[in-house]
Amino acid sequence: MSRKAKIRTDVESTIGYQFTDKTLLERALTHISAASGGNRIASYQRLEFLGDHVLGLVVSDMLFRAFPKANEGELSRRLADLVRKDTCADIARAMDLGPAMLLGNSESQAGGRRRTTILADMCEALVGAVFVDGGYSAAAAVIEKFWHERLVKPAKPLRDAKTMLQEWAQARGLPTPTYRETGRSGPHHNPVFKVAVVLPGKPDAEGSGKSKRAAEQAAAATMLEREGVNPDKFEA
């Protein structure tokens, strides 16, 4: 067995699902930088789109059943925490998706295997691939395996990434970071915003989210991560 095949087999073993169509697994792990000619269709992006919605549905169902007395607002807050990019990236790390990624050379050398946004996207793409290959029950089983503990015992709230970045910048004599919208995708009623954080002397960092605020938080978190700042240990 080749090293590449072994890594894919290890992913299947970790998530507890064996793909009938192995090309779906490979596509879920293929970043656009590694897709032939930058072909978005050959990368994980379509599966990520599907997986994002499958994940939302399954986790919503899990929350509905687990918290019968919770109102809509509480369920929505719990859902947002469980499906946000940072959570999906943590799940991807638990799945050990980093070594299994197919990245272009430049993206790999830039640390793409550790990048929160890529890890989160591939996690969602993997959920989408399982759904296409095995249906709802298969996808739900994978999601329940990795999300159940977080659902019943939520992680402590993350510190505000924008505030952290501003404090980090000020402690180093840098100006206050600014944010600009760089793009918007998805349907009009459910857009995904892309935002870049700008800090003179540092390369811009991008983030995406269901709202501008969420995208700004994601961009700030990306810059902090790139600068080697651990949110749990950060001190201005």
CA-derived radius of gyration, the chain? 18
Pairwise CA distance, residues 147 & 156, whole Å: 15
pLDDT at 61 over 80: yes
Is 201 within the bounds of a domain? yes
Is 49 within the bounds of a domain? yes
For residue 233, what pLDDT is reported? 44
Is 232 within the bounds of a domain? no
For residue 212, what pLDDT is reported? 87
* Domain final residue pick, 152, 177, 194: 152
Q: Do 85 and 65 have their domain in common?
A: yes
Is 182 within the bounds of a domain? yes
Is 31 within the bounds of a domain? yes
Give me the domain span that covers residue 98.
3-152
Q: Do 31 and 126 have their domain in common?
A: yes
For residue 104, what pLDDT is reported? 80
DSSP 106-144: HHHHTTGGG-HHHHHHHHHHHHHHHHHHH-HHHHHHHHH
Count how many domains the chain has.
2
Q: Do 49 and 107 have their domain in common?
A: yes
Pairwise CA distance, residues 191 & 98, whole Å: 28
Q: Do 147 and 169 have their domain in common?
A: no
pLDDT band at 155 (very low <50, low <70, confident <90, very high): low
Phi, psi (degrees; rounded to nearest 5) at 50: -65, -45
Q: Do 146 and 190 have their domain in common?
A: no
pLDDT at 200 over 90: yes
For residue 74, what pLDDT is reported? 81
The CATH code of the domain that includes 168 is: 3.30.160.20
* Domain final residue pick, 98, 121, 152: 152
Q: Do 143 and 169 have their domain in common?
A: no
Is 236 within the bounds of a domain? no
Is 231 within the bounds of a domain? no
The CATH code of the domain that includes 52 is: 1.10.1520.10
Q: Do 148 and 166 have their domain in common?
A: no
Q: Which two tokens stand for residue 18?
A: 């064996």
* Domain final residue pick, 133, 152, 171: 152
Residues 128, 47 contacting (CB under 8 angstroms): yes
Q: 20-24, 74-78, 159-163, 227-231 — which is least confidently predicted? A: 227-231
Is 235 within the bounds of a domain? no
For residue 209, what pLDDT is reported? 85
Q: What is the mean pLDDT of residues 161-179?
A: 91
DSSP 148-200: HHHHHSPPPPPPPHHHHHHHHHHHTTPPPPEEEEEEEES-TTS-EEEEEEEET
Q: What percent of the chain has pLDDT over 90?
A: 50
Put the strands of the sheet holding 202-209 in their side by side order. 178-185, 192-199, 202-209
Q: Do 136 and 197 have their domain in common?
A: no
Which positions are annotated as active-site residues?
Answer: 52, 124
For residue 3, what pLDDT is reported? 67
* Residue 43 vs residues 31, 146, 185: alpha-carbon distances, Å: 5, 24, 17
* Residue 184 vs residues 50, 188, 189, 195, 215: alpha-carbon distances, Å: 18, 9, 12, 9, 11
Phi, psi (degrees; rounded to nearest 5) at 189: -80, -10
DSSP letter (8 states) at residue 69: T
Pairwise CA distance, residues 234 & 236, whole Å: 7
Q: Do 14 and 69 have their domain in common?
A: yes
pLDDT band at 62 (very low <50, low <70, confident <90, very high): very high
